[in-house]
Amino acid sequence: MSTKSSSTVSANIGSEQSVLFRRPLQLACGTVLEEHSLTFETYGQLNDAGTNAILICHALSGDHHAAGTNKDNVVGWWDSYIGPGKPIDTDVFFVVCPNNIGSCFGSTGPASPAPATGNVWGAEFPVLEVSDWVKSQTYLMEHLLIDCWAAIIGGSLGGMQAMYWAVNYPKKLKHAVVIASSLKLSAQNIAFNEVARRAIQSDPNFHQGNFIEHQTRPTQGLALARMIGHLTYLSDHALGRKFGRLVHSGDLDSAEKELVEFEVSSYLNYQGDKFARRFDANSYILITKMLDYFDLGANFENNIKDAFKQAACKFLVISFSSDWRFSPDCSKLIVDALIAADKDVSYLEIESDQGHDAFLLPNKRYEQGLQGYLKHIAKTLFKVAV
> Contact residues for a second copy (CB under 8 A)?
29-30, 127, 184-188, 190-192, 194-195, 198-199, 202-204, 220-221, 223-224, 227-228, 231, 234-236, 239-240, 242-245, 252-253, 255, 257-258, 260, 262, 264-265, 268-269, 272, 289, 292-293, 295, 298, 324
CB closer to a second copy out of 230 and 343: 230
Beta bridge partners of 17: 40
Q: How far is the CB of 308 from a second copy (least distance, A)?
A: 19
Q: How far is the CB of 195 from a second copy (least distance, A)?
A: 5
Q: How far is the CB of 317 from a second copy (least distance, A)?
A: 20
Per the annotation, the verdict on 376 as an active-site residue is no
Annotate 172-197 with b (16+ C-beta within 10 A) or e (fewer).
Answer: bbbbbbbbbbbbbbeeebbebbeebb
Catalytic residue among 156, 182, 322, 327: 156
Catalytic residue among 63, 89, 203, 323: 323
Per the annotation, the verdict on 253 as an active-site residue is no
CB closer to a second copy out of 91 and 132: 132
CB closer to a second copy out of 187 and 385: 187
How far is 127 from 30, CA to CA, in rounded Å? Answer: 9
Q: How far is the CB of 91 from a second copy (least distance, A)?
A: 41
CB closer to a second copy out of 228 and 318: 228
Catalytic residue among 64, 65, 175, 356: 356
Residues contacting residue 255 through CB under 8 Å, at least 6 positions apart: none
Q: Which helix (H) or strand (E) holds 168?
A: helix 157-168
SS3 343: coil
CB closer to a second copy out of 48 and 258: 258
Q: How far is the CB of 350 from a second copy (least distance, A)?
A: 21
Instruction: For 59-127, give the DSSP string.
Output: -TT--S--SSB-TT-PBPTTTTTEETTSSEETTT-EEEEEPPTTSSSSSS-TTSBPTTTSSB-GGGSPP
Per the annotation, the verdict on 357 as an active-site residue is no
Alpha-carbon Rg for the chain in angstroms: 21
- Terminus-to-terminus CA distance in the chain, angstroms? 6
Residues contacting residue 215 through CB under 8 Å, at least 6 positions apart: none
- Which positions are annotated as active-site residues? 156, 323, 356
